[in-house]
Amino acid sequence: MLSEHAATSEEFIPTEAAPLVSEFGPSIMEAAESRTSLWPTQTVATFVYARLHNFSQACRVMSGIELTSFVNEVRQILSDAVAKLGGEIAQRRPDSILAVFSNAPDAIRPDHAQRGLHAAIVAVHEVVELARRVAAQPGMGDLPPLTLAVGVHLGAADVAPRTSSSKGMVHAVGEAVEFARLLEVTATDLHWSIATSAATNLAAGGRAEKGRIGSLGLPDESFIDIVEITGLAPRKGSSTPPRMFELLREAIAVNQQWRKRSAGSNAAGGSAAAMQTGGHLLVEGYRVLRKIGEGGMASIFLADAGDGGPPQVLKVMRLDKAGEADGLQRFIQEFALLEQVSHPNVARIFRQDFSLGHAYIAMEYFPCGDLAARLRKPVDASTAIGYLKQTAAGLGAIHRVGIVHRDLKPDNLMLRQNGSLALADFGVAKQVSMLITDTGDGDIVGTPYYLSPEQALGQPVDARCDLYSLGVLTYEMLTGRKPYHAATAHDLLNMHIHDPVPVLPASHAHLQPVLQRMMAKQREQRYASAQELLDDLTGRGL
């Protein structure tokens, strides 16, 4: 049953054909009657899939007469929102509807995206009104509230008339239909009222007001950008009272609040459905641009945060792929550690959160890549010293808050366009009291070429293990080769433990005392801190 407000505004939702014609042009209703003979099989249209949640719980407690009235009212609400805006029904079930909005043959410009989103907005409002009436009935107040989740997508699908007994309904199958269903599942999981593809929202020409954004990953590793719809924007010169549009926004917000309240009963089913329909990644609040890497625990994406700032890097780990709890703990710990530090030589981290079965960290993007790529060509002494000092400064910053990096290597030193360098990838960083072997049963964590002797021995670590790794890196920058080479990781670790500190070429002999202290086998013989190393370099005029 339509609310009182529905009959008071041509834009809100008209109750008769005449206002509808004045709003969208005289061809819409005429085309709706004749479209089955006009449509080609492959149709570009806007598809709307709406599903009423907590419908079955309400049905179970209603008597026969109440149940019949309730089911009929739900059917009318979902159907009227489609019919009054020139759409056609492709599938109708007691708690859901799939609708098709195509363009009228003589329309000046495509308007089906506008009408599809308009219908979705109106349907949410009418469901909220219905939910309030149901909740006010005796014995219904303790039930989870009725809520609507809607997916709207513009695309191509096969559309054809059904049999004459189907009362004008059409048959629609294809990718665009599945996207609309997937977007409804996404709206369910994110507790949105309406989710649409960004392209659909763009095609609507500003008719729908948008809220949050996101990117939904597909099995072929492509992405579809999505947008939350929060209201209907008035047309230019509209005579509709502003209060009508406020009521729509309020209804969408209330529906969203109720969705969050009943999230416990809906979340599991929604996530499972998302996987079944093909969605495997969604990070709310970011528009994913492309995949740029794959790590042991996480996939790496370049993303736009939608705030007008530079791109960011998203490190995303699927929770069902996390393996042992230690993997997720270490992933989350990376953020917890880095957010304590604000230093130009430490990578900036912006956010850590969970979204649709994933944990993710948003970090600074380094378009110039890492130091490993830079070291493929010789580095002059002044550049090497500059990198040494910047790395030491970054290490000093993390050491001051009690963090040991434990995996310092060229791959984890990132370069900015201004030439500065920043520490990154703290996935194995731990507080100083932890043992290196606590991430597995005797497993060695770290990269053998840069590992300190105490790490190789599985001993407790402190900040001085990072200074040893920095010494290895310094030797590599100055000579173009690593100090130790062996046929096996075991032999390489033994060299770190027992072999003497390598000797620099004569042209760098003035740095041999610095290298000797950084790479001393006994940590007590190394610099006590990164700041002591920097002070020594300054004292040597470097």
Nearest-5° Cα angle at 1, 182 to 99:
30
- Cα separation of 130 and 136, whole Å? 10
d(CA 262, CA 148): 12
The answer to whether the CB of 231 falls within 8 A of the CB of 208 is yes
Distance CA(161)–CA(250), nearest Å, equals 37
111 catalytic per annotation: no
Cα–Cα distance, 154 to 113 (Å, whole number): 7
Which candidate in 111, 407, 425, 466 is catalytic? 407
Under 8 Å between Cβ of 119 and 99: yes
Q: Could you please report the per-residue DSSP string of 380-392?
A: -HHHHHHHHHHHH
Q: In angstroms, rounded to a whole number, what is the distance separating the alpha carbons of residues 331 and 329?
A: 5
Q: Which residue has the tokens 């269903």?
A: 181
Phi and psi at 120, nearest 5°, equal -65, -45
- Return the closest-CA partner of residue 32 out of 72, 95, 71, 87: 87
Q: How far is CA 319 from CA 137, 332, 356, in A?
A: 41, 12, 9
Which bin fits 520, alpha (ψ -120 to 50), beta or left (φ > 0)?
beta
Q: Which of the residues are catalytic?
A: 407
